[in-house]
Each structure stands twice: as structure tokens, then as C-alpha cells.
Amino acid sequence: MAKAYLRDSEYSRQEAKNALREGLFHKAVRRAQESVELAIKAVLRLMGLDYPKNHEVSGLLEAALKRMNPPQEIQSALPAIKRISLKMALERGPAFYGDEAALKPPQQLYRKRDAEEGVRNAEYTLKIC
């Protein structure tokens, strides 16, 4: 399961890069979020942990790692991974549905810099995981 999640994470990361290249910035953010989520869930699976069926599980990863003695690279990356996961989970809905209250579709909510940041976040998270 962990290997499958990592493969899917990589595929979503590649889709995010393609969407960025095509100027579909909202799609790049959405696919980057999926990549981050799947990469973290792959690590949890590898650790033999079940996780809640929601889109943000970095707190569970943090708690699990506190019980272990992970390599320093992982320990020092954890705050960034948690920040990335939390931020991107908040972007998940708007990147897909837009802002219903303002009647703005997702295409109007995201710019190139948002998509670039999302892709960078996905690449970093996948590399660490």
C-alpha cells in the first residue's frame, strides 16, 4: 500500500507540474495537495498506522515520529511538512470548487506563483517521505 501511495503521489506531482505548464494554476494546486497527502499517508502506511479518512494527517505523522527516533533529516523536515500539509489541505476545496460565497470559480483564485509554490511543496514532501 505504501509503495502504491508513493507512486500515486509521484503521478499527482507530475500532473501538478503539467497543469502549471499549461497555465491551469488551480489544477496545479489541487494536484499538488493530492501529492502531499498521499506521500504522508504512504509513510503512515509504512509505519503500520491507520489514519483518519480526511485530507490532513500531518499531526498523526508528528505524533508517530515522536515515539520513534527518526533520522535527523526527518526530524528537521517535520515542521515544514506539517506547515505544507496544513496549508495545502485548506486549499483543497477552493482549488476544486472555487469560492461559492463570492461566486468565483477556482480559475480566478489562483495565480502562477500559487501553482509554483504548490509544486515545490509537493516535490519537497515527496522527497522527504
Q: What CATH number corresponds to the domain at position 42?
A: 1.20.120.330
* Ordered DSSP codes for 20-65: HHTT-HHHHHHHHHHHHHHHHHHHHHHTT----SSS--HHHHHHHH
Residue 104, strand partner residues: 99
For residues 62 and 4, what is the distance between their CA atoms, to the nearest angstrom?
Answer: 22
Helical pair 58-66 and 72-97, crossing angle rounded to 10 deg: 170
pLDDT single digits (tens) 35-76: 999 999 999 999 888 887 888 998 888 888 888 888 888 889
pTM (2 d.p.)? 0.93
Query: What percentage of the chain has pLDDT greater than the value 70?
Result: 100
pLDDT computed for residue 67 by the predictor: 87
**Domain of residue 108, residue span:** 2-128
Cell of 111: 495565480
Cell of 20: 502549471
* DSSP label at residue 102: T
**Burial grade of 26 (CB within 10 A; 0-12, 13-18, 19 or more):** buried
HSE at residue 42, side-chain half, CA atoms within 13 A, is 20
pLDDT single digits (tens) 72-89: 888 899 999 999 999 999
Number of domains the chain contains: 1
